[in-house]
Amino acid sequence: MEALNLSKRMKTICHGTRKERRNGKIPGIIYGKEIGNEMFEVDSLELQKELTATGEHGVITFNMDGKKGTAVIKEVQKSPVEHKIIHLDLEEIAANAKMHTDVSIKIIGKGLLESKGLVWQTQRDLVKVSCIAKDLPKDIELDISNGGAGTVYTFKDLNMGKNVSIVDDISTVIGSISEEERVQEEEEETEE
């Protein structure tokens, strides 16, 4: 994986980030013990490729004006209407230090449930895990295709790697399966 190129930016004028976005740059901030707090901008296409590879809570390597390092993506802010990325928060980490972060839960088998007239109801879509940076998964899969009505899935049902552990309470509910409610519309006959 190639390092994400970050360029330092200075807050000079009001609405400067809008101009950056129009020029294909995404503003962000990186914070950590070694680097301190630094504002940066990154090419939007380069960032999209990185997010596709690592996920929105993944670990990336970066190069900021010659300084290389590793960071975890803490937050990706998106516009509510267009769903385009408008800001990025990174936290610098040591490559071999243990870290706590959120990982997305990817649900597998929703289509099969729907074909059986069942509905998946999500309670949580993130799980907090502990691991070193190189072992952080992009997402954690949960296969619900064998479940039936009334089945409840918890963090205990997730298949974690041997070097990844769950920090949250393992009895926390991820979601449940229920039967689809079918409403029959009765035609009303009106007499004139």
Interval 13-59: pLDDT, tens? 555 666 677 778 899 999 988 888 899 999 989 999 998 888 888 88
Tell me the C-alpha distance between 31 and 27, whole Å: 14
Same domain, 81 and 152: no
Same domain, 77 and 146: no
Provide the domain limits for residue 173. Answer: 100-179
Same domain, 16 and 72: yes
Tell me the C-alpha distance between 56 and 25, whole Å: 18
Same domain, 105 and 42: no
Q: Which residue in 136, 143, 60, 50 sits closest to 101, CA to CA?
A: 136
> Is the predicted pLDDT of residue 80 greater than 60, yes or no?
yes
Interval 137-178: pLDDT, tens? 888 999 999 989 999 999 999 988 788 999 999 999 999 999
Indicate the pTM of the whole model: 0.71
Same domain, 12 and 67: yes
Q: Give me the CATH number covering residue 8.
A: 2.40.240.10
Tell me how crowded residue 137 is: count the other CB atoms within 10 A of its CB: 19
Same domain, 105 and 89: no
Number of structural domains, the chain?
Answer: 2
182 falls in which pLDDT band (50, 70, 90)?
low
Domain boundary among 94, 119, 146: 94
* Token pair belonging to 23: 């020029």
186 falls in which pLDDT band (50, 70, 90)?
very low
Domain boundary among 41, 60, 94: 94
Residue 144 belongs to some domain of the structure: yes
Q: Are strands 173-179 and 118-122 parallel, antiparallel or unpaired?
A: antiparallel
Residue 72 belongs to some domain of the structure: yes
Domain boundary among 39, 59, 94: 94
